[in-house]
């Protein structure tokens, strides 16, 4: 199935906790996203802003059923892991979903002309 949905969540840590939280995200969320049928891609991003680090998690899905398989009955609610509270100083409790109506992705290794 083609990718049809983008799911976006944001959370913030103290900058000093960012590297440890990044590792935690890779062991928990990243692994679970990739293991959920219908997940078509994961982008975990971060940027430093003053004394905090903002994390934006962007995931691609092939259907609402796939999103619900990951997030549960309320796909608009953020999914948290047991130790998130140890790291996060602020977090969105909800996520944003966007339907993809057009996209283009250059094949890997093909130069742009």
Predicted local distance difference test score (pLDDT) of residue 1: 63
What mean pLDDT is predicted for residues 82-98? Answer: 97
* Confidence band of 112 (pLDDT split at 50, 70, 90): low
Neighbours of 10 (CB within 10 A): 15
DSSP conformation letters of the chain: ----EEEEEEEEEEGGGHHHHHHHHIIIIIHHHHHSTTEEEEEEEEEEETTEEEEEEEEEES-HHHHHHHH-S-TTBPP--TTHHHHEEEE-SB-EEEE-S----PPTTPPP-
Mean pLDDT of the chain: 92
Predicted local distance difference test score (pLDDT) of residue 104: 77
Q: Which CATH architecture group holds 5-99? A: 2-Layer Sandwich (3.30)
What mean pLDDT is predicted for residues 25-32? Answer: 90
- Structural domain boundaries of the chain? 5-99
pLDDT tens across 1-24, in order?
A: 677 899 999 999 999 999 999 999
């Amino acid at each position: 199935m083609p990718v049809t949905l983008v799911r976006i969540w944001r959370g913030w840590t103290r900058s000093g906790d960012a590297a440890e939280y990044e590792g935690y995200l890779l062991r928990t969320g990243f692994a679970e996203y990739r293991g959920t049928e219908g997940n078509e891609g994961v982008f975990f991003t971060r940027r430093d802003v003053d004394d905090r680090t903002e994390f934006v998690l962007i995931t691609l899905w092939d259907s609402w059923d796939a999103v619900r398989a990951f997030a549960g009955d309320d796909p608009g609610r953020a999914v948290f892991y047991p130790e998130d509270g140890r790291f996060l100083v602020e977090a969105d409790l909800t996520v944003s979903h966007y339907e993809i109506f057009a996209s283009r992705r250059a094949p890997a290794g093909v130069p742009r002309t």
